[in-house]
C-alpha cells in the first residue's frame, strides 16, 4: 500500500500524459477519424462567354458555398473559387443558368443559389437632344435671357428595354437668386415620362457645357 501511495501524484500525471499521447497518435493519424469542419464562403457570380453586343441582367450577385476541409489544412481563400454563368451561344431571351464552380479540389457541401434566372438583351444606342430643366424657386424675379448647350445632342447606350423607357435626356440648371452668367459642365440624365432618372444606361459624352444668362425680370416690382 505504501508503494502505491509513494509519488502518487506523479504516477497519476504520467498516466494522464500517456493516455493523451496515445489518443493523439491513434486519432490524428486516422484520416477517417481526423476532425473536419465546414467552411462557408461568399463569392461573386460572374457571366462568362456572353456574345458581343449583348448584356446579361440578373439580381443574384453572390453565391454562398459551403465546403468541407480538414483542420490540418489551410482554409480555402475566396479568390480561389469562382461562380460562373456560362452564356455561350445564348442570344436575347430569358434563361435559367446553372452556377458552375471553378475551384481547386474541394468537397462542396452546398451551393446557393444553384442556378440563376437572367435576361439577355441586345445593347443598342440612340441619339437624344439635350433638354434644359430649371430647378429652384421659380417665383423669383429672375428669368433666363439665353441658354446654350454644347454638344446639343448626346448618345445613350444600353439594353433595348431601358432605351424604350427614355422620354428625354435633360440637364438640371439651378435658378439663381440674383442675375448672373451661368457656365458649367453638367451631367446629362436620361429620364422617363415621369421625370425619374433611368439607371443602367450610359450617356456619351457624360458631361456637357451649359451656358445661360439669368437677368432681372422686366415685370418685377
Name the architecture of domain 123-216.
Beta Complex (2.170)
- List the one residue out of 121, 124, 123 whose CA is nearest residue 56: 121
C-alpha distances in angstroms, 99 versus 102, 110, 112?
Answer: 10, 12, 9
Other beta carbons within 10 Å of 141: 14
| pLDDT for 32 | 46
Residues of the chain with CATH 2.170.120.40: 123-216
**CATH code assigned to 36-113:** 2.170.120.30
| pLDDT for 24 | 56
| pLDDT for 177 | 85
| pLDDT for 38 | 79
| pLDDT for 36 | 54
| pLDDT for 23 | 54
Length of the chain: 221
Can you list the alpha helix ranges (DSSP code H) found in 85-207?
160-163
C-alpha distances in angstroms, 200 versus 159, 190, 205?
Answer: 8, 10, 16
Rounded CA-CA distance 65/200 in Å is 29
| pLDDT for 75 | 77
Rounded CA-CA distance 156/125 in Å is 5
Rounded CA-CA distance 96/92 in Å is 13
| pLDDT for 15 | 56
End-to-end Cα separation, the chain, in angstroms: 119
- List the one residue out of 152, 149, 166, 150 whose CA is nearest residue 202: 166
Other beta carbons within 10 Å of 5: 8
| pLDDT for 86 | 95
Rounded CA-CA distance 103/204 in Å is 39
- In tens digits, what is the pLDDT along the chain, a chain of 221 residues? 444 455 555 555 565 555 665 555 554 545 444 445 678 889 999 999 998 899 999 999 999 998 887 666 777 777 888 999 999 989 999 999 999 998 877 788 889 999 999 999 999 999 999 999 988 776 668 888 899 999 999 999 999 999 999 999 999 999 888 899 999 999 999 999 999 999 999 999 999 999 999 998 876 54
Amino acid at each position: 500500500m505504501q508503494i502505491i501511495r509513494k509519488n502518487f501524484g506523479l504516477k497519476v500525471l504520467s498516466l494522464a500524459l500517456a493516455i493523451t499521447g496515445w489518443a493523439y497518435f491513434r486519432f490524428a493519424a486516422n484520416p477517417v477519424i481526423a476532425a473536419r469542419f465546414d467552411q462557408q464562403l461568399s463569392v461573386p457570380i460572374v457571366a462568362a462567354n456572353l456574345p458581343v453586343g449583348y448584356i446579361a441582367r440578373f439580381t443574384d450577385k453572390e453565391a454562398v458555398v459551403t465546403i468541407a476541409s480538414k483542420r490540418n489544412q489551410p482554409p480555402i481563400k475566396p479568390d480561389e473559387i469562382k461562380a460562373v454563368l456560362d452564356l455561350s451561344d445564348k442570344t436575347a431571351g430569358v434563361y435559367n443558368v446553372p452556377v458552375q464552380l471553378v475551384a481547386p479540389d474541394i468537397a462542396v457541401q452546398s451551393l446557393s443559389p444553384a442556378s440563376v434566372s437572367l435576361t439577355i438583351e441586345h445593347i443598342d444606342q440612340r441619339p437624344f437632344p439635350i433638354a434644359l430643366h430649371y430647378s429652384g424657386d421659380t417665383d423669383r424675379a429672375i428669368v433666363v435671357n439665353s441658354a446654350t448647350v454644347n454638344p446639343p445632342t448626346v448618345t445613350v447606350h444600353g439594353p433595348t428595354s431601358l432605351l424604350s423607357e427614355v422620354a428625354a435626356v435633360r440637364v438640371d440648371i439651378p435658378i439663381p437668386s440674383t442675375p448672373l452668367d451661368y457656365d458649367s459642365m453638367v451631367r446629362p440624365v436620361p429620364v422617363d415620362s415621369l421625370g425619374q432618372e433611368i439607371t443602367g444606361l450610359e450617356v456619351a459624352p457624360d458631361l456637357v457645357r451649359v451656358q445661360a444668362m439669368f437677368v432681372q425680370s422686366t415685370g418685377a416690382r
